[in-house]
Structure 1
Amino acid sequence: MTLMRKVLFFLLLCLTAYPGKATNFHSPNVAGPYGVGFRVVQHYDRAHVYKQRIDLTSGTTTPGERARPVQTLIWYPAKKTSGQPLRYGDYVRLAATETEFARSPAEVDRLVTAALAENYANLDSKQRQLELAQPMLARQAADAAPQQFPVLIYAPGSSSSAYENADLCEYLASHGYIVLASPSLGVTTRSMTLDLEGAEAQASDISFLVGYAATLAQADKAKIAVIGYSFGGLANVLAAAQDDRISALVALDGSVRYYPAIAQAATYATPERLAVPLLYLGGKPATAEAMHRNNQISSYSLLNQLKYADFYNVTMYTMEHAAFQSESLRLGPEQRFGDYTRAEATVAYGWMERYVLAFLNAYLKGEAGAATFLHNAPKANGVPIHLLSVEAQRAESAPPTLTTLATTFATQHYTNLAESYRAMTKTAPAFKPAERALISWGEPFLDEKRYAPAVEIYELVNALYPDSPRAAFYLALAYDKNQDRARAIENYQRVLSFWPDMAEAQQSILRLRAQSPSK
């Protein structure tokens, strides 16, 4: 029996078993050119504790493994005819092993049955069975496509399972991306806490997956983006602010918009550290009156500060918050979609997928056609009228950071550093790299005997920190190595004005004077 005949036979069987029943969700987009493989990796982040030393339910020492569990779902481009086909229920069962990897099949059955009954009471038993039996695009342990692909990390909403947007993850994998996802866990609890500590725990999980992706032969480690839904769409921003391996961000109605106090409390999440392209897809904005009633009006918006990033703000007018993840579209009650039907929300979900794909293709694969799609008027892309709108904001400039300064210095063949710094401060007057960061920047040049660039760096350090004995010492050392005896002696003497007893400076002056023909 051919694959197509098997699929048709299965669908016919479902319709026969449940006459009059229709499935809630069908993928709105055609899959890409690759098959989709799927596997699960269960490992621990041993740098972080998950279970506390004392079990709060028993009051005794917690037995067994206490490290943070990271059950990782991996979708990857694959050969189309290999592997075991998956059904949606295969994803749902994974929720039972997110924190306890060794649960028996019977335990998994019991927990999944209870969770479905509690969370999706809208489904009768026949509808539930029909939804769980739906065939998916992915195939278990399929043969990987023989090349490297960009990496996507998917961060789910608060307390949600890693498979919550399995349809989006499969769709992106079919278009040539490796997608990794892990559950949204609190610091020490299965439930996420909606605070900075919780967001940073998920951000840490994201970076853990970025590191794990580097071990995958299929992964292009230089091209990594993070997609986050809801609270995951705040955690991914915090992760990118601390992990420069992340080169693009997607937020699906992300909490970076709705929890400004958490974003503001993460003081490291600055425009300078978030100079990566960002696609934000959100629902129709609430009225000012509704925001006031819900205490959501804030004078702070991190998104409005992202002047060093290409920023695309897409408003999806027919999508409530729940419609941005396919688990709700498949299993949730109709009421989750507000004034719109499930069918209308599904159409919008399909366009959400297409904009996410175009953004990733533009920024991770450099496809000109994808960039054009992003900048087109929605009508030119075939978007139904009144479905969505797009605001595109180009980065004003490179961020005023030491990295930008170092890049400019390199492109200018390691000359004119002071001029480059002055040019940057014209648009960013407050830009002043930390003294120790500048000193550390110069040290490899000394080690590699590239003394002229080291001199320029330490001249800048001394201009910015004229009262620093450490800066004076490194400048003296650079002049000394560069055979500029007069300036070396002058700056060793400056060092002694700060540290009169420094033997190394005293001895260097004696040595240089002994070498000088004008001694």
Structure 2
Amino acid sequence: MILRAVLILILLQTNHVFGQTSLKQIDLTNGKHKVGFIHYTTADSTRTYNRIYDYTNTQIARPIPISIWYPADQVKDESEQITVLNYLEILKEEEEWEHLPNEQILNWFYYANTLANQKHLKEKTTAYLKAGFAEGKFPVVVYTPSFQASSIENFALCEYLASHGYVVISSPSRGTENRWFGNNNPKEMETQARDVEFLVKEISKFPLANTDKISVMGFSFGGLANILAQTRNKRIKVIVSLDGTERYQYTLLTKSPFFDAAKIDVPYIHMAQKDIPEIVLREDNIDSVLNTRFDLYDSISKSKAYRLKFHDLTHSYFSTLGVLFQQRDTRQDKSDAEIMESYKWVSTYALNFLNAYLKNDDRALAFLENNPSDNGVREGLISHTYREPKPEPLSFKDFNDLASKQHYENLYELYQSLKQTSSSLELPEGNLNTLGLQLVFNPETSEQGINVFLLAAKLYPNSANLFDSLAEGYLYLGNKEKAIESFEKSLELNAQNQNAIERLRQLKH
């Protein structure tokens, strides 16, 4: 019996016509690097899993198939160039149909067994097996697939990024207990987030991966997992969302105990599908608010956020497999040429976003902020907006982090400078007193503690307690004269300060 599984979380039911596309016609311009590819399976021993088609109660460690695209040295053996069929053989493995004959791939999983699709299987990609790693370290992209999809669903984009100097790692979107998602989407979302975190750790094993520069990129359901992963993993510096479901199912995000929009503090870009036509909204019972509402974007305040809408793309075509194989919806899909043109621009914007924020490329940043037509985009193809982070009021911790970087010198000047940009900044007397004592009693930072007390005394000149603490600091350093002076000042402000009375009695005899 033919298995029909869900490849992606599609918003629309479709009426189908077959299209003509090819990797060559997508026309992505690769960078200077050859592209290497490796695939293997490891396991997460902290979680259990059941291979559903083995029909056994046996539990195993959660298998994690790993696909990695990377910048490579010159390729020695052209015979190792990967075909689309090679990628779909990985799909067989990830679907747990390892022994399925290749001639059964089309129509067995998701795609019609047409002459056009058969032709796609023979296409050569730009990746090579067994290619040596390029020298140097490269930023990392953790790619998170769509609903129950394969690690290789966006292989053309992954190859494209690797050719431009990125290491891309991906694993399939699998359910918590077995290959398929259950009915508890919050649980499945958390499982995907844990898989993202596993990949972050896994890529650190590779010497060419720069783990100080990690980004996440997710399509559809994968976008939800990436938001959760970033809010609790500060190693993730950038979020790229390919029509991520965080736009459409914000309430699902809020069901996670780990989610807090205020914690998203890295650059974020969301590239969305076209407006859903009225006929599709009506026939498929879709709420029209999906065309306009975006609660997550509106909630991001600590980082720069970009929002793009691609007017010639429906949801399926943010992936390579979607562009090549997905049957078209005659109610709304554009022509194949228009779909491929838009997919190319999705890839181009993704690359420039990564270059801007992981490689500090000023030209890439300008590209993002230009009107799309200034970047050569056909008029009307892309709508685009972005916004700067909202200024956040500075806290005592913010002040202390900056003060520490300058070794607690020139503290009053620092305070005045910060007050000009954040008038609400407060340095509570108690916090300064505690910080000063912590620093003073550490032999390596004693002088820095004195500087904190001097700032505190300037801000709170009527605090007997601060002058008492300052005196204790001087006494700890052996500066008897300054200690006496400060204890006397404390007594002047509070004649009942018994510590100062006793200390002065000891110091003057």
CA distance in 2 between partners of 1:288 and 1:515 (Å): 88
Is 1:225 paired with 2:224? no
Residue 67 of structure 2 is aligned with which of 59, 63, 73?
A: 73
Give the structure 2 partner of residue 39 of structure 1.
38
CA distance in 2 between partners of 1:441 and 1:318 (Å): 61
8 Å CA contact retained: 1:151, 1:223: yes
8 Å CA contact retained: 2:94, 2:172: yes
Residue 93 of structure 1 is aligned with which of 89, 93, 96?
A: 89
Q: Which has the higher contact order (CA 8 A, sep 6+)?
A: 2
CA distance in 2 between partners of 1:186 and 1:252 (Å): 21
3-state DSSP class of the match of 1:256? coil
Give the structure 1 partner of residue 466 of structure 2.
none
8 Å CA contact retained: 1:425, 1:431: no
Two-structure CA RMSD over aligned residues (Å):
4.4
8 Å CA contact retained: 2:51, 2:179: no
Give the structure 1 partner of residue 267 of structure 2.
277
Corresponding residue pairs, total: 451
3-state DSSP class of the match of 2:100? helix
* Matching residue's letter, 2:160: Y
Residue 213 (structure 1) shift: 1.8
Give the structure 2 partner of residue 449 of structure 1.
444
Structure 1 residues 121 and 410: CA distance shift in structure 2, 3 A:
same
Is 1:324 paired with 2:318? yes
CA distance in 2 between partners of 1:400 and 1:479 (Å): 30
Is 1:294 paired with 2:264? no
Residue 353 of structure 2 is aligned with which of 355, 359, 364?
A: 359
3-state DSSP class of the match of 1:110? coil
What does the per-residue CA deviation read over 1:414-470, in whole Å, with 9 as the maximum and x for residues that have no partner? 3649958995995789999xx9xx99999799667324656899999xxxxxxxxxx
Structure 1 residues 401 and 335: CA distance shift in structure 2, 3 A:
farther
Q: Which runs of 5+ in 1 are unaligned?
A: 1-20, 101-106, 461-473, 489-508
Q: Which runs of 5+ in 2 are unaligned?
A: 1-18, 456-468, 488-498
* Matching residue's letter, 2:332: G
Structure 1 residues 305 and 334: CA distance shift in structure 2, 3 A:
same
Structure 1 residues 211 and 425: CA distance shift in structure 2, 3 A:
farther
CA distance in 2 between partners of 1:458 and 1:53 (Å): 64
Structure 1 residues 447 and 258: CA distance shift in structure 2, 3 A:
farther
8 Å CA contact retained: 2:216, 2:238: yes
- What are the within-5 Å matches in structure 2 for residues 353-502 of structure 1? 353-397=347-391, 404-414=398-408, 416=411, 419=415, 423=419, 449-451=444-446
Q: TM-score, normalising length from structure 1?
A: 0.74
Residue 306 (structure 1) shift: 1.2
What does the per-residue CA deviation read over 1:129-148, in whole Å, with 9 as the maximum and x for residues that have no partner? 32111101000011221111
8 Å CA contact retained: 1:155, 1:232: yes
What does the per-residue CA deviation read over 1:61-84, in whole Å, with 9 as the maximum and x for residues that have no partner? x25xx2222111110111243351
CA distance in 2 between partners of 1:456 and 1:288 (Å): 67
Provide the identity percentage.
27
Structure 1 residues 57 and 338: CA distance shift in structure 2, 3 A:
same
Is 1:305 paired with 2:299? yes
What does the per-residue CA deviation read over 1:326-371, in whole Å, with 9 as the maximum and x for residues that have no partner? 1011111122893312221111000111111111111111111111
Give the structure 1 partner of residue 163 of structure 2.
174
8 Å CA contact retained: 1:25, 1:329: no
Give the structure 1 partner of residue 146 of structure 2.
157
8 Å CA contact retained: 1:318, 1:387: yes
What does the per-residue CA deviation read over 1:161-216, in whole Å, with 9 as the maximum and x for residues that have no partner? 00000000000111111111111112222123562222221112112211222221
Give the structure 1 partner of residue 337 of structure 2.
343
8 Å CA contact retained: 1:24, 1:331: no
Structure 1 residues 439 and 372: CA distance shift in structure 2, 3 A:
same
Give the structure 1 partner of residue 49 of structure 2.
51
8 Å CA contact retained: 2:217, 2:240: yes
What does the per-residue CA deviation read over 1:452-493, in whole Å, with 9 as the maximum and x for residues that have no partner? 656899999xxxxxxxxxxxxx999999967798999xxxxx
CA distance in 2 between partners of 1:445 and 1:180 (Å): 48
Structure 1 residues 425 and 227: CA distance shift in structure 2, 3 A:
same
Give the structure 1 partner of residue 29 of structure 2.
30
CA distance in 2 between partners of 1:75 and 1:326 (Å): 15
What does the per-residue CA deviation read over 1:207-228, in whole Å, with 9 as the maximum and x for residues that have no partner? 2211222221111221111111
Structure 1 residues 424 and 479: CA distance shift in structure 2, 3 A:
farther
8 Å CA contact retained: 1:157, 1:231: yes
Moved more, 246-255 or 445-454: 445-454
Structure 1 residues 481 and 251: CA distance shift in structure 2, 3 A:
farther
3-state DSSP class of the match of 1:391? strand
CA distance in 2 between partners of 1:256 and 1:476 (Å): 56
Give the structure 2 partner of residue 265 of structure 1.
255
8 Å CA contact retained: 2:436, 2:450: no
Give the structure 2 partner of residue 501 of structure 1.
none
Is 1:208 paired with 2:203? no
CA distance in 1 between partners of 2:130 and 2:383 (Å): 39
8 Å CA contact retained: 1:358, 1:374: yes
Residue 95 (structure 1) shift: 2.0
Residue 374 (structure 1) shift: 1.0
3-state DSSP class of the match of 1:50? strand
Q: TM-score, normalising length from structure 2?
A: 0.75
CA distance in 1 between partners of 2:130 and 2:505 (Å): 71
